[in-house]
Amino acid sequence: MTFHLEMREIVKRFPGVLANDHVSLAVEHGEIHALLGENGAGKSTLMQILYGLYQRDSGEIRLDGAPVPLIDTTEAIGRGIGMIHQEFMLVRSLSVAENIVLGLDGGRLGGRLDLDGASARVRALSERHGLAIDPSALIEHLPIGVQQRVEILKLLYRDARLMILDEPTAVLTPQEKDGLFAVLRALAAEGRSVIIVTHKLHEIMDIASRVTVMRDGRVTACVETAATSERELARLMVGRDVELKAVRTPQRPGRAVLSVEGLTAHDGAGLLRLSNVSLDVHAGEILGVAGVDGNGQPELAQTLLGLRDAEQGAIRLDGTDISGLTTAERRGLGLAYIPADRRHVGSVPELSVADNASLGDQWRLARLGGLVRDDAAIHRHAAKLVRRFGVRAAGLDFPAGKLSGGNLQKLILAREIMREPMALVVEQPTRGLDVGAIETVWAELLAQRAAGKAILLISAELEEILNLADRIAVMFEGHIVGILPAGEASPETIGLMMAGRRPVEVG
Ligand SMILES: Nc1ncnc2c1ncn2[C@@H]1O[C@H](COP(=O)(O)OP(=O)(O)OP(=O)(O)O)[C@@H](O)[C@H]1O
Ligand SMILES: [Mg+2]
């Protein structure tokens, strides 16, 4: 039998990192193949080599049995390979059709962009594959789940036969994920092949027929999903048993540390994003904020941190009104923030791991009363943090922007926790993390709770909220639908509240 794709003994070295160490991967025609591995294991690198974004140092790639020379992305697309990246690459201010023909010669007619022709083709493809997309819609007006279907449509427009999806479900709601999987199954049934990179073991069991597991740049196994279990996959990947079950010891919460009253805010387009939001987070308590992405959670976090203005409402930190303070002042008073957007808000990608580890705290680590930068102290601090949180970096001088997605997240989380804050606003803390890393992050958050910190945990992962939170607030369309003690919350109740139903209607 000829495989659709064979990658043999692929080696890729970055300065100081052996990202792919003789990696082999084979995919059959019409197969949905999962690629699993710890943060920094080398999955994205391998996929970027396949897609022509990086060149392999050695090793062989075959498509339908024929050797593929070193190629760039245009040539990869020409050979029927398509990739959807961890971070979408759509131009937000352009329409669906414009995004799809962007950079394609086929969309041109006599040197002009033939948008009408393209739109008609996009519409036909969308109907044929049941994607329900309006070619004239602007990207910025589309929910994430639909944007992702646009990415898929883009691949279909180029007639990709082998589709690579790098963590496609990290930002999807459960319903959107089901929709995506239905589309993928239909594409596979047509004989197209799919490689899906994901950290979610149950998704692998659900969608893939085989899974290749990577650890530390090497392949540790390739197994049929029918012949394995989530537990075994976790073990193959992390090298030990992982029990994703947080143990929340009973604890009496203390005084209200972070209080919000009547917070109301509109966005730039005049849409109401926060509507009269009130809540208290107590010392030694994790207050979970559940909700489908895009129901005001990021706006809540940003307003608390002073990254966005509120028209009404008060924010108090340990009794002090901080509504008028700058972000730096709020941080200085003991408010920590772990943002969902690690690359743009939480870190400075050009700076080193060491510098990112002490962002905002350089003065504290400086010499001569804050006048002279103390590189040794900055390095010592970073080394401690990297060790305690298991951040995989080629070195402390390595640019933070080149860390794998999961390792950058661990770095930011570690920095904020090490600042010994009074209250933490934590947004989607385990998005894109492998199960081993999730275990670490959960344990650290619970340790912060035990240490008496007030934690506002915003998460779209219901499992995370149910495992960690003492009380659960559910947000829908900018307001809080209700707040329940954890003991009264079931996935069903919270799920219904996430759709806007009040707890009384539910319970
Ligand atoms: N452009 C680059 N320059 C230097 N090192 C890099 C570069 N890209 C990736 N690396 C390193 O290669 C290793 C593998 O990274 P990669 O992004 O492939 O991991 P991953 O398996 O996709 O992880 P994650 O699950 O966190 O997304 C990491 O140590 C990373 O820091
Ligand atoms: Mg990756």
In a domain, 265, yes or no: yes
Radius of gyration of the chain (CA): 24
| One domain for residues 91 and 27 | yes
Ligand 1 pocket: which of 402, 408, 409, 435 to mutate (most atoms within 8 A of CB): 402
Cα 422–Cα 267–Cα 270 angle in degrees, nearest 5: 150
10 Å CB burial of residue 479 (0-12, 13-18, 19+) is: middle
| One domain for residues 292 and 216 | no
More reliable by pLDDT, 344 or 414: 414
Identify the residue whose C-alpha is closest to ligand 1 atom 28: 40
In a domain, 325, yes or no: yes
Q: Does pLDDT of 90 surpass 70? A: yes
| One domain for residues 209 and 284 | no
Rounded Cα distance between 382 and 392, Å, is 12
**Residues 377-385: what's their mean pLDDT?**
89
CATH of the domain at 31: 3.40.50.300
The response to whether residue 45 sits with its C-beta less than 6 Å from ligand 1 reads yes
Residue 159 domain boundaries: 5-238
| One domain for residues 65 and 110 | yes
Compute, in degrees rounded to 10, the torsion defined by CA atoms 50, 342, 371, 422.
Answer: -150
| One domain for residues 272 and 221 | no
| One domain for residues 200 and 265 | no
Ligand found nearest the CA of 403: 1
Q: Which residues touch 280 (CB under 8 Å, ≥6 apart)?
A: 256, 258, 259, 260, 287
More reliable by pLDDT, 7 or 178: 7
In whole numbers, what is the pLDDT of the chain averaged over residues? 89
- Cβ atoms of residues 234 and 241 within 8 Å: yes
pLDDT band at 277 (very low <50, low <70, confident <90, very high): very high
In a domain, 374, yes or no: no
**Ligand 1 atom, smallest distance to 408 CA:** 26
| One domain for residues 140 and 192 | yes
Rounded Cα distance between 392 and 64, Å, is 36
| One domain for residues 268 and 232 | no
Q: What's the domain count of the chain?
A: 2
Ligand found nearest the CA of 41: 1
Number of DSSP helices (H) and strands (E) in the chain, helices first:
18, 22
Residues in the chain: 507
| One domain for residues 91 and 212 | yes
Q: Which residues touch 407 (CB under 8 Å, ≥6 apart)?
A: 39, 40, 391, 392, 393
Ligand found nearest the CA of 19: 1
The response to whether residue 409 sits with its C-beta less than 6 Å from ligand 1 reads no
| One domain for residues 213 and 260 | no
In a domain, 67, yes or no: yes
Which of 306, 312, 321 has its CA nearest to residue 263?
312
**Residues 393-411: what's their mean pLDDT?**
87
Q: Does pLDDT of 368 surpass 70? A: no
Q: String of b and e for 410-424 (b: at least 16 CB within 10 Å)?
A: bbbbbbbbbbebbbb
Q: Does pLDDT of 113 surpass 90? A: no
| One domain for residues 219 and 315 | no
**Domain ends where: 207, 238, 269?**
238
| One domain for residues 149 and 269 | no
Ligand 2 centre to CA of 38 (Å) is: 9
In a domain, 465, yes or no: yes
The response to whether residue 44 sits with its C-beta less than 6 Å from ligand 1 reads yes
The response to whether residue 88 sits with its C-beta less than 6 Å from ligand 1 reads no
In a domain, 211, yes or no: yes
In a domain, 42, yes or no: yes
In a domain, 400, yes or no: no
Q: Which residues touch 72 (CB under 8 Å, ≥6 apart)?
A: 52
Identify the residue whose C-alpha is closest to ligand 1 atom 12: 19
11-34 tens-digit pLDDT: 999 988 899 999 999 999 999 999
10 Å CB burial of residue 128 (0-12, 13-18, 19+) is: exposed
Q: Hey, is 232 helix, strand or coil?
A: helix
**Domain ends where: 238, 265, 294?**
238
**Domain ends where: 187, 203, 238?**
238
Cross-strand partners of 315: 260
pLDDT band at 252 (very low <50, low <70, confident <90, very high): confident
Q: Does pLDDT of 350 surpass 70? A: yes
The response to whether residue 37 sits with its C-beta less than 6 Å from ligand 1 reads yes
189-221 tens-digit pLDDT: 999 999 999 998 999 999 999 999 999 999 999
Q: Does pLDDT of 401 surpass 50? A: yes
Ligand 1 centre to CA of 219 (Å) is: 15
* Amino acid in position 349: P
99-109 tens-digit pLDDT: 888 766 544 44
